[in-house]
Amino acid sequence: MRYFEAAQLPAIVRVPSKEYHHIARAMDMGAEGLMLPMVSTAEEARQIVHAMKYHPAGGRGVALQVAHDRYRPGAVPDKFAVANNRSTLFCQIETAAGVENADEIASIEGVDALWVGHFDLSVSLGIPGEFDHPEFKRAIDRTIAACRNHGKALGRLVPTVELGVELYRAGFDFICYSGDVWVLHNALAEAITRLREGVQAKRS
């Protein structure tokens, strides 16, 4: 968190559960955004908002002049307003129930974005890893519609640039490209393949 603060970059933290102590601790440490896994109902989303927002938007316990406000003094109402305004909530849609309730989840004030957890969602739908399956595509279309209906952002992790562009055109506007481990794996796999092909071509 301090590295991100020093670099003046907003930090989005994926907390391990929907429990209050995980949510509030991340916010007190200075997270600007939170990602919550397996959000399946509107009531769960409301409870998350309540835990991460200060009065009057929520019921988060007060911790001022700590990491999240850079240890600086100031009027309490002003600090509440600033903290509430800058905190962003991503509800991860990773279950069939989450898709079913996506429109209601997206309608809640304080929910800023839905995030499709594609692998977990495919498992919940009974089609693990089948991202071209009609049922999975219907779930994605329903989630896109929910975000459009309520003016909320929609995000997803993508393994390739091509898929990122395709999803952006379909309605996703928060694209996370791969991850450090997978990028390294793909780069090594491509390099080793090319080396082997080059060596074999020379032998022949």
* Domain residue spans of the chain: 2-178
* Residues forming a β-bridge with 196: none
Task: Report pLDDT for 201.
Answer: 84
Task: Report pLDDT for 93.
Answer: 98
- Tell whether domain 2-178 is in CATH 3.20.20.60: yes
Backbone angles phi, psi at 36, to 5 degrees: -115, 125
> What's the average pLDDT block by block, 10 residues per block, for the chain (204 residues)?
93 96 96 97 98 98 94 96 96 98 98 98 98 98 98 97 96 95 94 94 78
- How would you list the strands of the sheet with 33-36, edge to edge? 12-14, 33-36, 88-93, 113-116, 153-158, 174-177
